[in-house]
C-alpha cells in the first residue's frame, strides 16, 4: 500500500518559504535540517509533509501540480494567508460559483483554498 508522505516544493528563498508555509499550515520543521532542504510536518501528526527544496525552478503557469487546502472558514483563511504574504490570483476561467480561491505563495507557487464549510 502506498500513501503520500511528502509533497516537495522547489523554492528560491528557503527561510522565507519555511516561515510562510509553517504559519500557513501550522506545520513544524523536522528537527534535522540542512542548508538546502526543510521537511515540514503537521503539528498534530495527521496528513502529508511538505518539503521545501532549495533549488531554482521557474514557476510554471498554469502549474502542473498545486495544493488544494480545505478551509472551514474560507474567507478568514484567505485573509490570513494574504496577511502572511500570499497573493490572490485572478483566473478568467474560474466559474462565478467556484468553491475555491486561487492564491500564490510569496514565490508565486499557486494553491487553492477550497470552501469545506
Q: Please, are residues 84 and 42 in contact by the beta-carbon 8 Å criterion? A: no
Helix (H) or strand (E) holding 20: helix 14-25
What is the C-alpha to C-alpha distance for residues 37 and 40, in angstroms, rounded to an integer?
10
pLDDT digits (tens, 9 = 90+) for 77-106: 999 999 999 999 999 999 999 999 999 999
8 Å CB contact between 113 and 74: yes
Average pLDDT of the segment spanning 112-116: 97
Query: What is the value of pTM for the model shown?
Result: 0.93
Which tens digit of pLDDT belongs to each residue from 16-65? 999 999 999 999 999 887 999 999 999 999 999 999 999 998 888 888 99
Q: Name every residue whose Cβ is closer than 8 Å to that of residue 101 and which is 6 or more positions away in sequence.
A: 74, 78, 88, 112, 113
Domains of the chain, each with CATH number or no CATH? 1-55 (3.30.720.120), 63-117 (3.10.180.10)
Amino acid at each position: 500500500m502506498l500513501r503520500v508522505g511528502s509533497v516537495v516544493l522547489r523554492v528560491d528563498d528557503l527561510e522565507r518559504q519555511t516561515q510562510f508555509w509553517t504559519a500557513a499550515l501550522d506545520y513544524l520543521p523536522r528537527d534535522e535540517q540542512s542548508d538546502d532542504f526543510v521537511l515540514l510536518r503537521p503539528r498534530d501528526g495527521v496528513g502529508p509533509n511538505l518539503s521545501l527544496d532549495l533549488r531554482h525552478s521557474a514557476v510554471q503557469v498554469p502549474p502542473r501540480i498545486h495544493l488544494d487546502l480545505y478551509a472551514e472558514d474560507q474567507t478568514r483563511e484567505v485573509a490570513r494567508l494574504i496577511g502572511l504574504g500570499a497573493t490572490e490570483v485572478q483566473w478568467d476561467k474560474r466559474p462565478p460559483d467556484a468553491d475555491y480561491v486561487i492564491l500564490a505563495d510569496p514565490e508565486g507557487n499557486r494553491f487553492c483554498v477550497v470552501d469545506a464549510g
